[in-house]
Amino acid sequence: MTETVPSKAPGGPESPFRHELYPYRGDAQFLSGTLGFIQEALEGGEAVVVAVPSDKTSLLRAELSDEPAVAFVDVTTAGPNPGRLVAAWSAWMKERGEGDRPVRGIGETAWHQARSAAHLSELRYHEWLLNRAFAHSPTWSMLCPYDAADEDQDALRSLSRCHPLIRRDGQYATNEEYLGGNEYAFDVLSAPCDPFQELSFTQGDLAAIRAKVSQCASDAGVSETKLARLAVAVTEIATNSIRHAGGQGTLRTWTQDTTFLCEFRDSGFIADAMAGRSRPDTHQIGGRGLWLAHQLCDLVEIRSTRDQGTTVRLHMDVPR
């Protein structure tokens, strides 16, 4: 699994893409910060895309009186996997930014609705990846409100490290806690739950891999619809291992709480942090495996280093 590294590192304060964290407490502060951000946009002739939880959407709609330059989108249409959000924002930005019209986004994640520690970790990673995804987009800026009322300073600090700028009292400034650079400090993957199944595979074993995953997933209670989607994702990821990582890999499957997981390990290296996050070009040959996995699975975790190889975990939710 080999990709190329983009020529520019994730955007810092000097980047044309403006990515601001806005910690707030309560509805009044939420409205004050977001309406100020929107007013700046309207005065500058910019369009605005708002993707926030439904209760916050109602608050803003009541204040804006159907302002035509402001579009509200339902972020849940992208599905539960944070790996789909970069492409979703790209589409929303393109739709609203006709010609060279600048666009602003307001995106608030319902962090308290994260379904697992892995899901929460991938949501934070998405926030960091936004800096890389839009590093060359001078007409694009984004405000990320975060409800700090629960006083979880560790959570706020972790999120702060993903944002080059921070907004306070209606103004944005350089965020000294932003990590920047080319490397992201991933959370360590949890160990597989016992009992787990393990299978080494090589070229010619794709049918056996699909059968193994299908049986284990069915036993775990994965629905028929999701079994079909998982079979495609599994084929794509296993094929990547065979083609790009010496022709072999290792599969593990297990169930944890209400999630079925299958994990692929190989000796390859994925250099491109954006791999699988951007919609492939219609004329592109290859390079669709990780994209399809993100579209088909409820969560995808990827860890890849030159010295330890690559691990890809596919998550499928199981009904309680």
**Could you tell me if 172 and 37 are in contact, meaning their C-beta atoms sit under 8 angstroms apart?**
no
pTM here is 0.90
Query: Edge-to-edge strand order for the sheet containing 248-256?
Result: 197-202, 248-256, 259-266, 309-317, 299-305
Nearest to 210 by CA among 193, 235, 191: 235
* Confidence (pLDDT) at 151: 66
CA distance 207 to 235: 9
* Confidence (pLDDT) at 8: 39
User: Residue 311: what residue type?
Assistant: T
CA distance 299 to 284: 24
How far, in whole angstroms, is CA 226 from its chain's centroid?
A: 20
**Could you tell me if 3 and 272 are in contact, meaning their C-beta atoms sit under 8 angstroms apart?**
yes
Q: Which residues of the chain have pLDDT under 50?
A: 1-10
Q: Kind of pairing, strands 47-51 and 18-24?
A: unpaired
How far, in whole angstroms, is CA 38 from its chain's centroid?
A: 24
**Could you tell me if 82 and 122 are in contact, meaning their C-beta atoms sit under 8 angstroms apart?**
yes
Measured between alpha carbons, how far is residue 195 from residues 138, 228, 253 in Å? Answer: 50, 24, 9
Phi, psi values for residue 83, rounded to 5°:
-65, -10
* Confidence (pLDDT) at 95: 87
Note if the bond before 195 is cis, omega within 30 degrees. yes
**Could you tell me if 135 and 99 are in contact, meaning their C-beta atoms sit under 8 angstroms apart?**
no
**Could you tell me if 55 and 209 are in contact, meaning their C-beta atoms sit under 8 angstroms apart?**
no
- Tokens encoding 298: 């409820």
* Confidence (pLDDT) at 6: 33
DSSP 297: S
Helix (H) or strand (E) holding 58, with range, is: helix 54-64
Contact residues for 212 (Cβ-Cβ < 8 A; gap 6+) = 197, 199, 251, 253
Q: Which domains does the chain show, CATH number per domain? A: 18-174 (3.40.50.300), 197-317 (3.30.565.10)
CA distance 71 to 74: 10
* Confidence (pLDDT) at 113: 82
* Confidence (pLDDT) at 153: 83
* Confidence (pLDDT) at 53: 92
* Confidence (pLDDT) at 14: 63
Q: How many CA atoms lie within 13 A of 11 on its CB side?
A: 26
